[in-house]
Structure 1
């Protein structure tokens, strides 16, 4: 029980720290991380519901994207999500993707 409380407290501190650091990033970097995490969560939801990778890619092909780079990036994120053995819920995938993206952006500085 003690370990569980300690882990929850540590997770909360790490999350708060990442959120504070994320605010130091540009608005565009935060947008890209948030957008990518949404794509990953949608792909995980589709994967868990039995939707095929082919079907997910077809859906992305018909979708309108505001920026030219988004379609291919969404395809890559979706493919990586489908290739992963992870069975996490979409919310977990979204959180993990966002945190790792923020870490990556901070490391690039």
Structure 2
């Protein structure tokens, strides 16, 4: 995705739903998607956009580091994600799962 398209997306969408993939791309500096993740998180950190993320995504990004006994990476994920300003966490409930499921691809 070009920088111009990212900018347009961020202008049109003040609230952005985040998935665990984007979180992993950011932390692990994915060669193709890291720049996109940095741009989105930068916009969230400055308050230009608000990020919304399920606590399920936090679980998903922590599983692999803990499985590999990589406490340093798990701590890095946790610290970044739980202290990011303008990032709201939504606890997954049965009601939320039922509301969101029909709208996922």
Q: TM-score band, normalised by the shorter chain? A: under 0.3
TM-score by length of 2: 0.27
Give the structure with the larger helix fraction: 1
User: Of the two structures, which has the highest relative contact order with CA contacts closer than 8 Å and spacing of 6 or more?
Assistant: 1
TM-score by length of 1: 0.26
Larger Rg: 1
More strand by percentage: 2
